[in-house]
Structure 1
Amino acid sequence: MTEVDNNAYFYERAEAELKLAQNAEHPAVVKAHYLLAGYYLDRVYGPGDAENTPAVPLPSAGEPLAQSDASTSPPA
């Protein structure tokens, strides 16, 4: 697949996600689809090397993937 093919694919996926967002009823679903559309558009138009840019940004080395919340931790 060439870079042009990749860009066309990512652009089509972004368009599909935007349509899904517009038809969704639950706010969290709308947000998720817009977020995904943004990531796809970043792959098409964003700066940097598209081949090495993750669709979802990853934390820096040594940082956890998710922040834990003390209020949701099980009791000691």
Structure 2
Amino acid sequence: MLFTLLVLIGVYPLITLLSFLIEPLAADWLLWQRTAILTPLMVFAMLYGLIPMIQQTVRLFTKPTKNKPEGRLGT
């Protein structure tokens, strides 16, 4: 659930930024044309930027502590 929430929080500003950046180039294009350009940029940014960053963040919250006892009964 945490991962999904963080992806949602990260995707919104990313898609807004990418839309803003391609707007001067694609102002008079049809919606499907803008989407055809925006989608590969979005996927690339998510795969190599957003998702690894979110995975590191989630790992910080879920990483077990070294002081935690191991074993069934903590022995």
Q: TM-score range by the shorter chain?
A: 0.3 to 0.5
Q: TM-score, normalised by structure 1?
A: 0.35
Q: TM-score, normalised by structure 2?
A: 0.35
Larger Rg computed on CA atoms? 2
Larger helix share, 1 or 2: 2
Q: Which has the higher contact order (CA 8 A, sep 6+)?
A: 2
